[in-house]
Amino acid sequence: MPTESLARQIVAVKPIPVPTPHRPFPLAVKVTAPVTGEHLPVIVFSHGNAWSMDGYEPLVDRWAASGFVVVQPTHPDSRRHGIGLDDPRFASIWRTRVQDAHAVIDHLDEILIGAGGDIRSRVEIDLLGAVGHSWGGQTVGALLGARVVGPDGVVGEDLAHPAVRAGALLATAGTGDSLSEFAQQHLPFMRPDFSTMRTPVLVIAGGKDDSALSTRGPEWLTDAFHLGPGATDLMWIPDGEHTLGGIAGEAVKETTDEDPARVALVADAVAAYLLDALGVSPVEWEALRGAQSPDFTLQRK
C-alpha cells in the first residue's frame, strides 16, 4: 500500500447522472480514479447520514491513489435535500439508499463511460467491492445480504446484489435489541439481521465510538462481525471515534478525533482487504495482518 497520501495522480468527475425512477430527487454520482493503471477494481461507497458525493475525500482519494475506481452516490438524506427526521419520507430512505446502490451497480458501465477519458477501458468491472460508513454501512450491509427486521419482528426481504464480491463496513450500527429511546423513535429501521450476510466483509469499529443510538457502547458496532457468516475480519481501533480520525473530511464538525494517520490506516486496511478478497493481490492484506501496532488489532474468524 502507498506510504504517501497520494501515490499517483488521480482525477475526479462529477456529477454523472444515474437513471433512478424510484427517487424523489435525481441520482448523481462522483467517480474518482487513478490517472494511470489497468485492470482497476471498483469500490461503490455509501456515505453516512447527511453527507454526499462531495465528502470523504481523505478516504476516497487514498483508495484511488492505490489503484481503485471509486463511485460515490449522493443519497436522499444528504443535507442538500433537506429531508429531516420529521419528514414523512425519512422513514423509507433506508430502502431508497439500497435502491440507489443497486442503480449505481446496474448502470456501472454507463457511469464509467460517462466519466470520460479512458477510465472505462481500464476498469475490471467484475472486481467490485462495496464500502459504507455509519448509515452507509447499513446500506452496504444490505448489498452483502443483511436484512432489516420490521416492527413486527419479521425479517425483511433479500436486497443483496450478486455483483458485489466483497465489502467493508465502517462504524456500522449493530442489532436493534439495544437501541436508545431516540433511535427507537426516529430510526426504527435500524434493526439489521446479519445472519444472512454471507459475502466476505471487513468490519472496522472504534473503541471510543460510544454511539447515542445504542445502550451497549462501542462493542455494538462489532455485531456485523460476530453475527455475519461472511464477516471474516474485525479491525478494532482503540482510540477511534465515529469518523475514525476524519474519514468524512479534515476539520469538519463531525470529526471529533482528527488523526490523518488513523484515516490512512482505515483507507489502507479497506484497500488491502478488498484486493485480497477480490483475488487481485493478497500481499498487502497479509502484511497488515502480520503487523504489530498499538493503533489497532485484527481479529479473524
* DSSP track, 4-71: SS-SS-EEEEEEEEE--TT-SS-EEEEEEEESS-SSEEEEEEEPPTT--TTS-HHHHHHHHHTT-EEE
Q: How far is CA 234 from CA 102, 274, 298, in A?
A: 26, 14, 6
| The pairing of beta strand 147-148 with beta strand 69-73 | unpaired
At 196, the amino acid letter reads: T
In this prediction, residues 182-186 reach a mean pLDDT of: 92
In this prediction, residues 35-48 reach a mean pLDDT of: 97
When pLDDT is cut at 50, 70 and 90, the band that residue 3 belongs to is very low
pLDDT above 70 (res 287): yes
Q: With contact defined as beta carbons under 8 Å apart, do 285 and 292 qualify?
A: no
* CA count, 13 A, side-chain hemisphere, 196: 16
pLDDT above 80 (res 255): no
Q: Cα angle at 240 between 239 and 245, to 5 degrees?
A: 120
Amino acid 151: pLDDT: 82
Amino acid 215: pLDDT: 95
What ranges do the domains of the chain cover? Answer: 26-300
- Identify which has the larger pLDDT, 260 or 8: 260
Tell me which residue has cell 436484512: 147
- Identify which has the larger pLDDT, 252 or 50: 50
CA dist 9 and 75 (Å) reads 28
CA dist 31 and 48 (Å) reads 18
Identify the three-state secondary structure at position 227: helix
* CA count, 13 A, side-chain hemisphere, 81: 23
CA dist 265 and 181 (Å) reads 34
Q: How far is CA 150 from CA 11, 104, 161, 193, 217, in A?
A: 42, 26, 21, 10, 23
71-80, 97-106, 222-231: range with lowest mean pLDDT: 71-80
Q: What percent of the chain is predicted at pLDDT more than 70? A: 97
Identify the three-state secondary structure at position 123: strand
Report the chain's mean pLDDT, rounded to a whole number: 93
CA dist 252 and 1 (Å) reads 26
26-300 maps to CATH 3.30.465.10:
no
In this prediction, residues 85-107 reach a mean pLDDT of: 91
| The pairing of beta strand 297-300 with beta strand 231-237 | antiparallel
pTM as predicted: 0.94
When pLDDT is cut at 50, 70 and 90, the band that residue 251 belongs to is low
Question: pLDDT, tens digit, for every residue of 120-129?
Answer: 999 999 999 9
In this prediction, residues 178-206 reach a mean pLDDT of: 95
